[in-house]
Structure 1
Amino acid sequence: MKKVLMWLDDNLEILLCGLLLTAITVVMSIQVIMRYLVGQALPWPEELSRYCYIWITFLSIGLTIRTGSYFRVTAIIDLLPEKLHKVMEIFCHLVNLVFFGACAYVSIDIIATVYNSTQSSPAMRIPMYFVYLVLPVGMFISVFRTIQMLYLNIRALITGNDLKGAQTEAESIIEAIESENNDKEDQV
């Protein structure tokens, strides 16, 4: 179970975005074949591809947080001493946490409004709340990843390790807790 959770921690967003990108590729290839070889275009592939692209956009926010590859301007922060640099990283993650938390909170109201409107998509006739569901899903994943990075950055600041060292230490703590829980289950 631990290996599955660790794998999901490392690859959840990559897996979901990869599946959606594959769906876009397959659906648009079918559309090209239908349009140019059969002479009859399907009405729904562009819409499905658009919705998949929107899902990819919101799901990838968590991935960029986890990998630290999101866009940010660090010209001034990079000039700071290492310890103050780590403190500023923590502050930036706190600001991100407030922003993503607010977005997650607001997105729930948006979903409720869209759900109550009974609006459906033009071509596929699916309820639009399925499309809008990516807002809270993406924002809650972003909140989770931001909390994860906050924890790792605080651990790195306390221990004096770099971020990778803090991540390895966090994994060791998780393994110790799981081992202790497994020992308790074996005794029962």
Structure 2
Amino acid sequence: MRVLKWLNENIEEYILMGLLIFMVGMMGVQVTMRYLFNASLTWSEELTRYAFVWSAFISVSYCIKRHISIKIDQFLHLMPETVQRVILSINKVIMLAFFSYMLYYAVLVVKSTYLSNQLSAALGVPIYLVQASTVIGFSLAILRLIQSLLGVLKSPNTVK
């Protein structure tokens, strides 16, 4: 139970931190190779790009979990708390429907790419591994939205 609680609280942060450290390190190696040794790595930029794609989709669930997505809530705070909770609940249900829709098509795209055996140009890794970031990201976003919606419905004093 302790492990699940830790994962729930920290998984996105550690994945994003690891990907950021990896991307900075990889680009540092690439710059060093290019300017000090006059020899460029052919695969480092592709690998960094794929890590960036993964970080972009993982960050969606992180933003939902931390309630730091871009939003305009000036008018929301002028309303009574019950109205705020209703509006937030509707907003989260709409987002849940959107991410569910996106997850469905992301799975179809990944399946199609998996069946086509498409490989990346420089690394030769299967492209479906990169595209799986959409499935993981949207799944985590759905999980975080459900948690957030339950939080709004359960606690009457907390509106985020």
TM range (shorter): over 0.9
Deviation of the 1:39 alpha carbon: 1.0
Deviation of the 1:163 alpha carbon: 5.4
Aligned to 1:162: 158
Distance 1:47 1:35 in 2: 15
Aligned to 1:145: 144
Contact 2:106 2:134 (C-alpha < 8 Å) held by counterparts: yes
Distance 1:133 1:52 in 2: 12
Distance 2:98 2:26 in 1: 35
Of the structure 1 ranges 69-78 and 88-97, higher mean CA displacement relative to structure 2 is found in: 69-78
Gaps in structure 1 of 5+ consecutive residues: 165-188
Contact 2:89 2:152 (C-alpha < 8 Å) held by counterparts: yes
Deviation of the 1:32 alpha carbon: 1.2
Deviation of the 1:86 alpha carbon: 1.0
Deviation of the 1:75 alpha carbon: 3.0
What is the TM-score of this pair, normalised by structure 1? 0.82
Gaps in structure 2 of 5+ consecutive residues: none
Deviation of the 1:5 alpha carbon: 1.5
Aligned to 1:55: 54
The higher-RCO structure (CA 8 Å, 6+ apart) is 2
Alignment of 1:10-49 (within 5 A): 10-49=9-48
Alignment of 1:52-91 (within 5 A): 52-91=51-90
Aligned to 1:96: 95
Distance 1:65 1:27 in 2: 28
Q: Within the alignment, does 1:7 sit opposite 2:3 as a pair?
A: no
What is the TM-score of this pair, normalised by structure 2? 0.95
Alignment of 1:102-141 (within 5 A): 102-141=101-140
Contact 2:46 2:122 (C-alpha < 8 Å) held by counterparts: yes
Deviation of the 1:74 alpha carbon: 1.9
**In the alignment, residue 122 of structure 2 is paired with which amino acid?**
A
Distance 1:81 1:163 in 2: 11
Identity across matched positions, percent? 31
Deviation of the 1:6 alpha carbon: 1.4
**In the alignment, residue 56 of structure 1 is paired with which amino acid?**
S
